[in-house]
Amino acid sequence: MTTTRLIVGTLLCLVFALESQARPIVFADSTNVMLDYREGAMAEAQISYAPEHWMSVGLGYTDLSTDYSASHSFTYARMSVLVKRWNMEGAQANIFGWGGIGNTYIGRYVAEFTPDGDFNGHDHGGPPPDPESGVVAAINASAYNAGAQFDYETLRFYSSFKTDYVDSSLFWHRADTLQIGFAPYRHDTDSLATWFIISGRNYAGDLHESQELAFLVRLFKKRSWVEAGATTDGKIQALLMFNF
């Protein structure tokens, strides 16, 4: 790992904020497609290409509007960097950093009048609601994001911590995720890998201020990755990933 790479990765972590996926870079000369759904919190689609094992570039769309009357979303271009990898006997640990730029969007919605004549749900600094109908026009704003992830895994144990951050003049949003996983058996190259994952997540920012605990089953074989489960309050989570 060169010093330049270390500096670039560190700067990305410091200058930008965060976003997540199972692993930001899968392997060199690979294209990765990912769909991630977390009921009540977010839905995301992402495509990325890794020319080297230590970096990837990609495009993505995150819908953060699930709990809101108005559509909230973030569209982005991103670069991810493997800051440091430790290859050990039967184990691997990584530090990833990523950052990007994009656009946040809040769709048209109707703000509610309060008894004192003000409007509920209009605090993003965009155009004011129509004084009679309460309609607020859709608005866009440029945004940046950044993220980091540390993970450690063997053929039977998986752990990771990651933090994602998006910021714009419309809203900011951060998700911190801790995952611990256990595999009931050791898998090999051509066999199906099965993992049981406990995932704890903290949401912060203008859109979500909450915590969740989810239990997931993760399966992957060759180029495909499927993950599904639910939070303790019954909300569905699912992730599909394909590499080619």
Partner 1 sequence: MHKKICIALLGMFAAATASAATIEMKVHGLVCGFCAQGVEKMLRKNPATEGVLVSLEKEIVAVTTKPGTDITDAELTRAIADAGYSVKRITRTTRSLDEVRSEAQRSAKNPAKK
Degrees, nearest 5: CA angle 71-74-76:
155
DSSP labels, 133-165: T-EE--EEEEEEEEEEEEEEE-SSEEEEEEEEE
Q: How far is the CB of 46 from partner 1 (least distance, A)?
A: 16
Q: How far is the CB of 28 from partner 1 (least distance, A)?
A: 6
> Can you give the binding site for partner 1, defined by CB under 8 A?
23, 26-30, 52-54, 82, 85-92, 153-155, 186-189, 193, 220-223, 243
- CA-wise closest residue to 119 among 166, 171, 70, 73: 70
Residue 17 near residue 145, CB atoms below 8 Å: yes
Q: How far is the CB of 17 from partner 1 (least distance, A)?
A: 26
CB nearer to partner 1: pick between 29 and 209: 29
Q: How far is the CB of 130 from partner 1 (least distance, A)?
A: 52
Residue 177 near residue 200, CB atoms below 8 Å: yes
CB nearer to partner 1: pick between 109 and 195: 195
